[in-house]
Amino acid sequence: MGNKKHEKPKPLAGDFLDKLPTEKRLASDFYSAADCEDAIHGRRIPKNFGRRVLQLCVIRGIRHYYGFAQDMERLMPELTPVLDAKSSHEVVLEFIRALNARHIMSGVIPALSSPEETPYCIWHPDVPSKDTLRALVKKYPQMIYNAARACAIGGYLDLYKELDPLPEVHVAEEAGYAAAGGGPGQPRKPGDL
């Protein structure tokens, strides 16, 4: 039996990425299931972003974990030119929309530079507070329907009425149903609304 105390630890499969220049590392399409799992659960920003599956895992991590989103936002100035060089500007926009959605769900109104940076879904996994939704619509009136849908999911019937969006029957029904104690995906009973 050998003495295991003096054996070098085996290198991890992706350790070679650390030796690459930053641009090459970030653009690498090396696949690591552990990196995907860590990104999904908001534990660690991956070393590279070249594979679509990893990009989607990062988006999920951003939407679910505010600390992970903040770490990712700090990396964006370095990551954006790398992805743009790979003709992946749409991925940059997907990351930005996810970051903006996470900010809103966390009660922070982001600076939206263009319509392409505006998130659609601002209610999953967390519904923003009423105050956040009011402030969002005040700053960005074009997001009234996003806020109305968040009101529907959150059961904020009073805020929905206050915002007074042009009628969208399905959104109003969902808001009324959620306010009555129902929730998304739950079966409706006759006469709920």
129 shares its domain with 64:
no
Report how many domains make up the chain: 2
pLDDT at 188 > cutoff 60: no
What is the pLDDT at residue 19?
A: 84
Q: Is residue 152 part of a domain?
A: yes
Asked if residue 8 belongs to a domain, the reply is no
Give the domain-ending residue among 108, 136, 166: 108
**Rounded mean pLDDT of the chain?**
85
d(CA 78, CA 75): 6
Band of residue 25 on the pLDDT scale cut at 50, 70, 90: confident
User: Tens of pLDDT along 79-112?
Assistant: 999 888 876 789 999 999 999 999 999 999 999 9
User: In which domain, by residue range, is 131 found?
Assistant: 120-183
DSSP-derived 3-state class of residue 19: helix
Q: Is residue 25 located within the same domain as residue 53? A: yes
**Is residue 6 domain-resident?**
no
* Contact criterion met (CB below 8 Å) for 181 and 190: no
Instruction: Give the Å distances, CA to CA, from 128 to 9, 22, 33, 107, 149.
Output: 46, 36, 32, 6, 11
Is the domain of 22 the same as that of 104?
Answer: yes
Mark whether 90 and 164 lie in a shared domain: no
